[in-house]
Amino acid sequence: MNILKHTIKKFIYGTLPYYFMKGYKPGSPYLKYYEYIKEHGYSRHLYEFKDEYANMPVDVQKDEEKGLYYVQKEEKRLYFRKSTPARKIQKYYRALSMEQDKRSPHHYFNSVKEVTGKVFVDVGCAEGYSSLEIIEEAKHVYLFEQDEQWLEAIRATFEPWQDKVTIVQKYVSDHNSSREQTLDDFFNNQTDEHLFLKMDIEGAERHALAGCKNLFQNCQKLDFAICTYHLHDDEAVISAFLDKHNCTYTNQKGFFRHKIRSVVMRGSKS
């Protein structure tokens, strides 16, 4: 059954669109994705380099004192939720690494040096993979994560940098409440800081942006990496917001989560 399913997906998502595109739009940059599926089969993570990560060794260890599993990432420990078994952590870590590869449309920065001396605002940090990458470079890191299941792991991961990390257990939104926070109010007195804003919040990016209009207007220096793939009209809505605030940005497009789409918009407002 799995072989039949694989063959059908390969035909529907690869062979058919490949020959259609080759006949009617031979110059399309997306032709290579369909050709890849036609030759190699369908994959949720469709990158030409994905095989480099397929069998990447991931050494999952357990911190007996904390009762948490972790992966050693460049001499730093990235902890995971207690509810996640070691086998799933391996798969999850490979996917994270693949998504942040510079060849992926999902990557947030090309080099950790892009965050040197800046305040990194990680909206929807989950396990904190990206913040851990840049922790030594950033001036300060704000981790916004409401999910209680992640907080224990996040605190363990960033314990060595308590002096430069602030964990905020709230959703970033367009209004303030006991569970929600606007970035306009949170950074009201820090508009002279150079901020790097990263957003990956399952389709709530537009609400978070609505709550930081003043920040985009008044912040002297602001860089960003905003996900645009969760909702069907994210690309149009988010690009309209960035255009309104005179931002310069790159729209990173590619095959991600089953289709070709806009994935992340990276740029700045200064």
22 lies in a domain?
A: yes
DSSP codes, 159-201:
GGGGGGEEEE-SEE-SS-SSSEE-HHHHTTT-TTSEEEEEE--
Long-range contacts of 50-53 (CB under 8 A, 24+ apart): 50/98, 53/94, 53/97, 53/98, 53/101
Instruction: Clarify whether residues 150 and 240 are in a common domain.
Output: yes
252 lies in a domain?
A: yes
Full domain range(s) for residue 18: 1-42
56 lies in a domain?
A: no
Instruction: Clarify whether residues 116 and 249 are in a common domain.
Output: yes
73 lies in a domain?
A: no
**Rounded to two decimals, what is the model's pTM?**
0.89
Alpha carbon distances (Å) from 196 to 78, 93, 117, 150, 158: 21, 24, 10, 22, 19
Instruction: Clarify whether residues 38 and 115 are in a common domain.
Output: no
182 lies in a domain?
A: yes
Q: Domain count for the chain, please give it.
A: 2
How far does CA 235 lie from the centroid of its chain? 15
Give the Cα separation of 69 and 85 in Å (integer): 8
187 lies in a domain?
A: yes
Instruction: Clarify whether residues 160 and 30 are in a common domain.
Output: no
What are the pLDDT tens digits along the chain (270 aa)? 577 887 888 888 889 988 998 998 988 878 888 888 888 887 766 667 888 888 899 999 999 999 999 999 989 999 999 999 999 999 999 999 999 999 999 999 999 999 999 999 999 999 999 999 999 999 999 999 988 889 999 999 999 999 999 999 999 999 999 999 999 999 998 889 999 999 999 999 999 999 999 999 999 899 999 999 999 999 999 999 999 999 999 999 988 877 789 999 999 997
DSSP codes, 62-116:
EETTTTEEEEEETTEEEE--TTS-HHHHHHHHHHHHHHTSTTSTT-S-S-GGGGT
Instruction: Clarify whether residues 134 and 244 are in a common domain.
Output: yes
Instruction: Clarify whether residues 119 and 31 are in a common domain.
Output: no
